[in-house]
Amino acid sequence: MAFAHEITSKSEIDEIMKEGGPAVMIDFWASWCGPCRMMAPHFEAVAEAMVDEPVQLLKLDTEKYAEIAQAFNVRSLPTILLIHDGKIQDVVIGAKDAHTLKKKAEWLLSKARGDGFFKRMFG
């Protein structure tokens, strides 16, 4: 069972990017990208670990939805966008391990809850 949902339409992006939108991590990937394939099980593991949290881990195939990747100015793969309230909060470029991805997801959750800077940085 896949825990990271695949984005399949521009309307899904519109929902994510609207004011008040959800906390979302989007993995921009392609089937020919070696680092993307290496990172995929790590991203999936974090999606499974965070399934009960109010953060969505999504994937976007840049071969199928090149126009969406271009709209976000994605130039390297994998690229992960961390989005909350319709705004890009952070960008992660390159393959990351599960620990790093989980830390990023937790940081985004903390930001979505409205935790202050020091709480987000130091717990």
> Is it true that domain 19-114 has CATH number 3.30.390.50?
no
Whether the predicted pLDDT of 1 surpasses 60? no
Q: Which residues are catalytic?
A: 33, 36
pLDDT score at 117: 67
What is the rounded CA–CA span in Å between residue 87 and residue 81? 10
- Domain locations in the chain? 19-114
Mean pLDDT of 66-78: 96
Of residues 87, 68, 71, the one with CA closest to residue 19: 87
Percent of the chain whose predicted confidence (pLDDT) is above 70: 92
pLDDT score at 115: 81
* pLDDT digit string, tens, across residues 59-71: 999 999 999 999 9
- pTM (predicted TM-score): 0.91
